[in-house]
Amino acid sequence: MTIRTFSGAHPFRPSCLIEAYEDCMRYEYTDPKDRREEAVEFVEERLPTIDAGRCARCNGDLEDWEIPSGSRLTACRCIPLCTTCGRAEALSGLAQVLIRGPEDGPLVPLICPVYDWPVSRKEQEDAVAEFDRRGQVREALLLINTDGGLSLATEEGVAQVQMREHPDGWLEHGYDESADRAERER
């Protein structure tokens, strides 16, 4: 089964989801072996859903016309997401800056880590809507630091912004499915 995402540098590879899981758990375990084991278990559980053509993040169906977005969790961007989850993930960097207290709870689904997948699509839709609603009423200033990093200045203070400068995926790394072809021929 070959699943291609819009931005992926190759078709979806379960090993990339394993890496994404391990990466987000890197502070949780000291023993990389345990981490790997848990990651493999997680991915094995998620695979039937993804192979059925659903979104890896929310389990939701994709429309027939919908080309999955490539998750930004990996540089190859091969993990397939629905449009809502792709947008939620794209906002996660800014959401991290905006989330300051309990009143920001509706934004939390935007920063949902991979080990909490699947996350409800409805919650993500609400979170994106909440983000957009706030975006219209808040003013912020994006500052370029001397080290080239970015800061966001709002009336509440200044915070570091983690934005990706690179598009990743095939745009940056080119498209190469040769390894996948070899895998299929085996």
Tally of CA atoms within 13 A in the half-sphere of 58 that contains its CB: 22
Binding to Zn ion by residue 54, rule CB under 5 A?
no
d(CA 23, CA 17): 10
Q: Which stretch binds Zn ion (CB under 5 A): 42-50, 61-69, 74-82, 169-177?
A: 74-82
d(CA 169, CA 76): 5
Binding to Zn ion by residue 55, rule CB under 5 A?
yes
- CB contact set of 28 (below 8 Å; sequence gap of 6+): 35
What is the C-alpha end-to-end distance of the chain, expressed in Å?
A: 14
Task: Annotate each residue in 75-94 with x if it binds Zn ion (CB under 5 A) or - if it does not, as one string.
Answer: -x-x---x--x---------
In whole angstroms, how far apart are CA 17 and each of 9, 34, 148?
14, 16, 30
Smaller CB separation from Zn ion, 5 or 35: 5
Considering only residues 9 through 28, tell me which ones interact with Zn ion, judged by CB under 5 A: 13, 16
Binding to Zn ion by residue 60, rule CB under 5 A?
yes
Binding to Zn ion by residue 35, rule CB under 5 A?
no
Smaller CB separation from Zn ion, 78 or 110: 78
Smaller CB separation from Zn ion, 16 or 39: 16
Number of residues that bind Zn ion (CB under 5 A): 10
